[in-house]
Amino acid sequence: MKEVRVRFAPSPTGYLHVGGLRTALYNYLFAKKNNGKFVLRIEDTDRNRLVEGAVEKLIETLKWVGLDYDEGPDKPGDVGPYTQSQRLDLYKKYAEKLIADGNAYYAFDTPERLQELRDYQYKNKLQPKYDKLALKLSKEEIEEKLANGEPHVVRLNVRSGEKIKLNDIIRGQVEFETDIIDDQILIKSDGFPTYHLANVVDDYLMGITHVIRGEEWLSSTPKHILLYKYLGWELPEFAHLPLLLNPDRSKLSKRQGDVAVEDYRAKGYLKEALINFVALLGWSTSDNREIFEMNELIEEFSLERVHKAGAIFNIEKLNWLNAEHLRKKPAEELLSMLKEEFKNSKYADSIPDDDYLLLIIEAMRERVSFVREYIEKCPYFYERPTGYDEAVIKKRWKDDSQELLREYVGRLKRIENPQKEDYEKILVEIAEEREIGKGRLIHPLRLAVSGVGIGPGVYDLLFILGKDEVINRIETALTKISK
């Protein structure tokens, strides 16, 4: 049985789109599931759209999310080079073969003539396609024009009246009429191939067995099938992935939100959450499970369970998955990540010690969705409150709150090195003696030490801050809070 070989072939035009990440991920999962090879190929033949440094950034992003390719620009294999601009002689060779066999031809049309043709077709409601005028040139005329260096392209010679059938792994049987297929340009006037020729030549020479790509390429597939046929090559299998959609079902675009993987990384999303989320954009398991690690995705993945319909990009679900993956991480890993966050915070010059941060991590674990929220959601662990939430004062600060807090401070002062249970024991004793609910003291106590009305368990809060700090904060609050 032939070894499975798949590829991810992005253009270095800026950033890695989340749709591109999904394509790369599905290719990677399919390869790993089938003990195959995952190839990275850089398609840089559109010279007008190249962005400086984009290749390096793309490779770095793929490595960050854990999509380790087996062959690529920086991992040479037997079928390189893996950058298309370094393979121009190959495209020229096969273009010349197509021409020699009558399956492609030189076209010398000027831009003005092509624009006139388009205008005429538009005006007369005709399908916009090339009119094959160049095929009327004699061999001698062609040779003369080439010898004179006249600008030209190479076009695919599509015969009319034929049907092209495709059995797509995801979409099933798809049929195309050649009458509506244009004579696609294969080699541009600058000598560079278009996507269509380059990708077919490369897929064949690189031994690609399965072409897994976005739905937007489905309409181009009949041209690719013709190229395989004209070159006498065996077809790979095709699988066209559903579109990614905004919640309003429009095509996912930067106008409605972030679409670059780098943007999500910068915002603090975990790579595990992003991979998990992207995997579910158009694919699901039979039991509708939602939380996966990479090794579990490899085990479960199949192209047969990829949906035909467009997939909604739901940011709320990504946020939920980020929180779930964050909670699963060991405390020591979170500690390392949190210390990195501190370096970019206003507390960069006074990062607490590890033991203190580990206590905060456990206390806040169920209350955060991003690592940065271990700082943003509980600043009271790192600095004393400078104010107190007025809404909480109005609702929770009662006539006896000052008296209860003074009592609490008095009893706390009598305990040496109090543990978490001691903070609770004092509060319970006071509540029982005064025959009041514990909340009567818990709420003003939390407000006094944190300045807010919500947070981790109040006994965790007090124990982490420590006896002296708690006493200091309560005494300060008693002088500042009145109702």
3-state secondary structure 76-131: CCCCCCCEHHHCHHHHHHHHHHHHHCCCEEEECCCHHHHHHHHHHHHHCCCCCCCC
Task: Check residue 259 and give its pLDDT.
Answer: 86
In tens, the pLDDT along 62-86 reads: 999 999 999 999 999 999 999 999 9
Task: Check residue 250 and give its pLDDT.
Answer: 86
CA 224 from centre of chain: 28
Spell out the SS3 assignment of 167-202: EECCCEEEEEEHHHCCCCEEECCCCCECHHHHHHHH
Residue 43 pLDDT greater than 70, yes or no: yes
Q: Please state the rounded mean pLDDT for residues 143-156.
A: 97
> How far apart are alpha carbons 349 and 357 in whole angstroms?
15
Q: Any idea which fold 330-379 has? A: Helicase, Ruva Protein; domain 3 (1.10.8)
Portion of the chain with pLDDT greater than 90, in percent: 93
In tens, the pLDDT along 210-248 reads: 999 999 999 999 999 999 999 999 999 999 999 999 888
pLDDT band at 482 (very low <50, low <70, confident <90, very high): confident
- Tell me if the domain spanning 390-480 has CATH number 3.40.718.10: no
Residue 342 pLDDT greater than 60, yes or no: yes
Q: Please state the rounded mean pLDDT for residues 92-108.
A: 98
> How far apart are alpha carbons 114 and 129 in whole angstroms?
10
Q: Looking at domain 87-241, which CATH architecture does it have?
A: 3-Layer(aba) Sandwich (3.40)
Q: What are the φ/ψ torsions at residue 102 (nearest 5 degrees)?
A: 80, 10
Q: Please state the rounded mean pLDDT for residues 110-123.
A: 96
> How far apart are alpha carbons 476 and 483 in whole angstroms?
15
In tens, the pLDDT along 367-414 reads: 999 999 999 999 999 999 999 999 999 999 999 999 999 999 999 999
Residues contacting 15, CB < 8 A, separation 6+: 54, 57, 260, 261, 262, 263
- Please pick, among 163, 251, 254, 346, the residue that the annotation labels catalytic: 254
Could you confirm whether 254 is annotated as catalytic?
yes
Q: Which superfamily does CATH assign the domain made up of 5-84+244-315 to?
A: HUPs (3.40.50.620)
Residue ranges matching CATH 3.40.50.620 in the chain: 5-84+244-315, 87-241
Task: Check residue 23 and give its pLDDT.
Answer: 98
Task: Check residue 49 and give its pLDDT.
Answer: 85
Portion of the chain with pLDDT greater than 70, in percent: 99
Residue ranges matching CATH 1.10.10.350 in the chain: 390-480
Task: Check residue 254 and give its pLDDT.
Answer: 61
In tens, the pLDDT along 263-298 reads: 999 999 999 999 999 999 999 998 989 999 999 999
Residue 253 pLDDT greater than 80, yes or no: no
Helices (H), 287-389: 294-300, 315-328, 331-343, 354-364, 373-376
pLDDT band at 474 (very low <50, low <70, confident <90, very high): very high
Residue 90 pLDDT greater than 70, yes or no: yes
pLDDT band at 483 (very low <50, low <70, confident <90, very high): low
Reported pTM: 0.92
